[in-house]
């Protein structure tokens, strides 16, 4: 009889312990939407930073002097402004 009571007690204690180890419920639709929106914002931020870096590099290249190029293609070879004395 004691064995039967002990088995019943053990079975009644095992039920809640098993329930605690079950898988968590799936995420709700709104939680998935929030995750998708956050992921999208992160991707857009990375793309924006990449575009800004590319534009910065293009601007840096545009501002570099060209070595071996024409001295002053607009002024017809002059190295000083037309109003300067002694050119």
Model pLDDT for residues 19-55, shown as the tens digit of each residue: 666 787 889 999 999 999 999 999 999 999 999 999 9
Q: For residues 57-75, give the mean pLDDT.
A: 74
Distances 27 to 23, 38, 81 between C-alpha atoms, Å:
12, 15, 71
Q: Which residue has the tokens 């601007």?
A: 59
What residue segments make up the domains of the chain, in order of their start?
32-59
Identify which has the larger pLDDT, 20 or 7.
Answer: 7
Confirm if 50 and 43 have CB atoms less than 8 A apart: no
* Tokens coding 4: 């039967």
Please say if the pLDDT value at position 75 is more than 90: no
Task: Tell me the C-alpha distance between 28 and 16, whole Å.
Answer: 25
pLDDT classification of 76: cutoffs 50, 70, 90: low
Kindly state the helix (H) or strand (E) to which residue 49 belongs, with its residue range: helix 29-63
- Predicted TM-score (pTM) of this structure: 0.45
* Tokens coding 71: 């001295």
């Amino acid at each position: 009889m004691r064995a039967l009571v002990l088995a019943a007690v053990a079975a009644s204690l095992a039920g809640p312990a098993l329930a605690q180890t079950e898988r968590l419920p799936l995420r709700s639709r709104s939680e998935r939407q929030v995750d998708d929106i956050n992921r999208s914002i992160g991707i857009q931020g990375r793309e924006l930073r990449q575009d800004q870096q590319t534009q910065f590099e293009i601007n840096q290249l545009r501002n570099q002097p060209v070595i071996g190029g024409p001295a002053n293609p607009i002024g017809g070879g002059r190295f000083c402004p037309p109003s300067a004395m002694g050119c």
